Structure 1
C-alpha cells in the first residue's frame, strides 16, 4: 500500500499565501471554513465536496474547486479509498487588492464555491504549485502567483448548486460573525451570542446554521482552529497555543486541529 505523504509550503517573505500537497491520503475533514480564498485540486482518486447546502459533488482527478473565504465546506475521499490533492490558501485581503488592480471582481465572503474541470487550468495550477515547492527564488514565486491569480476570472466557472450562498440578512447575525472573528472565540459562549442577538439559544442555533452552515459551537471551534494556525505560524509552542485557545489540554487541541486541517499542529508548524 502506498505511503501517505503530506507537505506544506510557506515563505516568511510571502506571508499571504501557503500551499499543501497530500498523496494517498485517507484523512477526513469536518465541515469548516478558512479566512482565505482557497483553491483545491484533485490529483488522484475521487472525493466528495460538500458546502453549506444539502447534497454533495463528486470530484474526479483534474478537478479544481475555488472556495471563497468563510464558505463552509468539506472535501473527503470516497469511503475506504485514498486520494491525492493540492490546496492553495491566499489571504482574502491581498487577493481583493490584486483583483482590483486587474479589473476583476473579488469573490464575496461566504459566496458559493465554484468548480472547474478544464484541463488547461488544472495544468497551470499544478505548474504554479510545483514552482512554489521548488528552490526557485521568492521573486519568481511571487510573480507566478500574481500572474495566475490575476489572469483568471474564477467567477466564470459555475457555482456548486449544492452550496448556496448564505443569507446574512439579519444585522444581528452579521454582528455575531464580526464579533467571533474579532474577539477571542475561546471566551465566547452560546449564551453570550444569544444575548447579543436578542434571541433564545434554540432560535440562535437555527438561524445561525441557516446562515453559515454551522452551529454557533462548530463555528466558534472553527474560528479557534484558524486562530491556532496563525499562532503556530508565529512560532508559539503547542502547549501555549492550546492554552490560549482554551482547550482542556494539548492532546484535545491536537485531535480537533487534525480533524479540521488534516495534519497535526506539530506537522503544520
Structure 2
C-alpha cells in the first residue's frame, strides 16, 4: 500500500495564500467553510464533492473545484479508498481587489462552487502549485499567482448545485455572519445568535441551516477552527489556542481541527 504523504506550503512574505498537496490520502472532512477562496484539484483517485445542498458531484482525476469564501462544502474519497489532491487557499479580500484590477466581477461570499473538467485549466493550476512549492523567488511566485487568477474567469465554469433558497433574508444573514466573525466565537451561544437575528432558537436553526448548509453550532465550531489557524500562525502554543477558543482540552481541539483542516494543529503551524 502506498505511503500517504502531505506537504504544506506557506510564505510569510505572501501571507494571503497557502497551499497543500496530499498523496494517497484517506483523510475525510466534515462539512466546513473557509474565509478564503479555495481551489482544489483531484490528481488521482475519486471523490465526492458536497455543497450546501443535498446534491453530490463525483470528482475524477483532472477535475478542479472552485469554492468561494464562506461556501459550505466537503470533499471526501470513496469509502475505503485513497486519493491524491491539491488545495490552494487565497485571502478573499486580496482576491477581490485583484479581480477588480483585472476587470473581473468579484465573487461574493457563499456564492455557488464551480467545477471545471478542462484539462488546460487543471494543467495551469498544477504548474502554478509546482512553482509555489519550488525554490523560485517570492516575486516569481506572486507574479505567477496573480497571472493565474487574473487569466481565468472562474464564473464561466459550471456551477455546482446551489443551496436551497434561504428563509433568512440575505441582509439579515450577512449581518449575523458579520456578528459571528467580529465576536469571540468561544463566547457565542445559540441563544445569543437567536436574539441577534430576532428569531426563536428553533427558527434560527432551520433558517441558518437552509441559508448556509450548517447549523449555528457547526458554523460556530467552524469559525473557531478558522480563528485557530490564525492564532497558530501568530505563534500561540496549542494549549493556549485550545483554552482561548473554549475547547474542553487540547485533545478535543486537535480532533476538531483535524476533522476540519485535514492535518493536526502542530502540522499546520510547522508548515514552511
Q: TM-score, normalised by structure 1?
A: 0.97
**How far did residue 174 of structure 1 move?**
2.6
Q: Which residue does the alignment assign to 2:194? A: 194
2:66 matched residue in structure 1: 66
The 8 Å contact of residues 39 and 65 in structure 1, kept in 2 or not, is answered as yes
1:113 equivalent in alignment to 2:109:
no
Q: Given the superposition, is the C-alpha separation of residues 147 and 46 from structure 1 closer, same or farther in structure 2, using an over 3 Å criterion?
A: same
2: CA distance, partners of 1:39 / 1:166: 25
CA–CA distance in 2 between the matches of 1:165 and 1:61?
A: 32
Which residue is equivalent to 1:242?
A: 242
Corresponding residue number in structure 1 for 2:266 = 266
Match of 1:257 in 2: 257
Aligned equivalents of 1:50, 1:177: Cα separation in 2 = 21
Where in structure 1 are there 5+ consecutive unaligned residues? none
Cα gap change, 1:156 to 1:171, in 2 (>3 Å): closer
Structure 2 residue runs of 5 or longer lacking an equivalent are: none
Give the aligned partner of residue 126 of structure 1.
126
When normalised by structure 2's length, the TM-score is 0.96
Deviations 1:80-121 (A, max 9, x none): 100000000000010000000000012111000001000011
* Alpha-carbon distance in 1 for matches of 2:73, 2:184: 23
Q: How many residues align?
A: 269
Deviation, 1:7, is: 0.9
The 2-side partners of 1:225 and 1:196 are apart by: 22
Verify: 1:85 aligned to 2:67, yes or no: no
> Which residue of 2 is the match for residue 160 of structure 1?
160
1:135 aligned partner: 135
Per-residue CA deviation, residues 1-40 of structure 1 (Å, 9 max, x unaligned), is 1111011100000000000110000000000000001100
Q: Deviations over 1:191-249 (max 9, x none)?
A: 11111222111111001101110000000000000000011111111011111111011
Contact 1:54 1:162 in 2 (8 A): no
